[in-house]
Amino acid sequence: MIDNAGLFTAEGLAGLVFLVVIAATLLGAFITIYAKRLIHSVSGLAISFIGVAGIYYYLYSPFVAFMEMLIYVGAVCVTIAFAIMLAEPTSRERTEARGPVTAVMGILVGSVIFWGLASLASNTPWMAAGKRITNGSIGAVGNSLLTTYSMVFELVSVVLIVAIIGSLVLARPGRGR
């Protein structure tokens, strides 16, 4: 336990930044599911992903945090924004919510899942590992990506190229319409 429990110590400021990161994550997720228009929803998703990258940084994984910013905020959110620009009908004003029945159902299912996961997380006596094999640095990640997980690594590249070709094939026909 840290004895010097002030706000203006290094640990205290780090904890404050962590609170900001959590707030960004949860607020972004809230905007994502409650915004009326889809483009606001994507903006909320980007805020939430920035917060998630901060959480990864606090989990001692700066490389994964960087990839989160690069892939999710930089690529996935921008792709979804392009798809909204191509596909959202702007002629009629529309509400994004489906109605009170699905709202009640969604809140019910979501809170049941949250209650289950939260009680599981807080009631399980988690046992820490006795001894670390590696230190979890970028070098260790690269080593195991190219030795232990090299097959999966190659398969992921195959999956990505299939996804590229497949999305081109799917989205290509009917462009003249």
Site residues (CB under 8 A) for another protein, limited to 67-86 = 67-68, 71-72, 75-76, 79-80, 83-84, 86
For another protein, the binding residue among 24, 25, 50, 73 (CB under 8 A) is 25
Q: Determine contact, residues 71/63, Cβ cutoff 8 Å.
A: no
Instruction: Establish if 52 lies at the interface with another protein (CB under 8 A).
Output: yes
Q: How many CB atoms lie within 10 A of CB 53?
A: 23
Q: Which of 6, 5, 15, 84 is nearest to 45 (CA)?
A: 84
| Triad 21, 26, 31: Cα angle to 5° | 125
Residues that bind another protein (rule: CB under 8 A) add up to a total of 97
Instruction: Establish if 7 lies at the interface with another protein (CB under 8 A).
Output: yes
For another protein, the binding residue among 73, 125, 154, 156 (CB under 8 A) is 156
Instruction: Establish if 94 lies at the interface with another protein (CB under 8 A).
Output: yes
Instruction: Establish if 27 lies at the interface with another protein (CB under 8 A).
Output: no
Instruction: Establish if 10 lies at the interface with another protein (CB under 8 A).
Output: no
Cα 50 from chain centre: 8
Q: What's the CA gap between 3 and 7, in Å, rounded?
A: 12
For another protein, the binding residue among 117, 125, 151, 154 (CB under 8 A) is 117
Q: Determine contact, residues 53/31, Cβ cutoff 8 Å.
A: no
Instruction: Establish if 19 lies at the interface with another protein (CB under 8 A).
Output: yes
Q: What are phi and psi of 172, to 5 degrees?
A: -75, -50
Instruction: Establish if 66 lies at the interface with another protein (CB under 8 A).
Output: no
Instruction: Establish if 125 lies at the interface with another protein (CB under 8 A).
Output: no
For another protein, the binding residue among 111, 125, 151, 154 (CB under 8 A) is 111
Q: Determine contact, residues 21/55, Cβ cutoff 8 Å.
A: yes
Instruction: Establish if 126 lies at the interface with another protein (CB under 8 A).
Output: yes
Q: How far is the CB of 110 from another protein (least distance, A)?
A: 4
What are the distances in angstroms from CA 6 to CA 12, 15, 17, 23?
Answer: 6, 11, 14, 21
Q: How far is the CB of 141 from another protein (least distance, A)?
A: 5
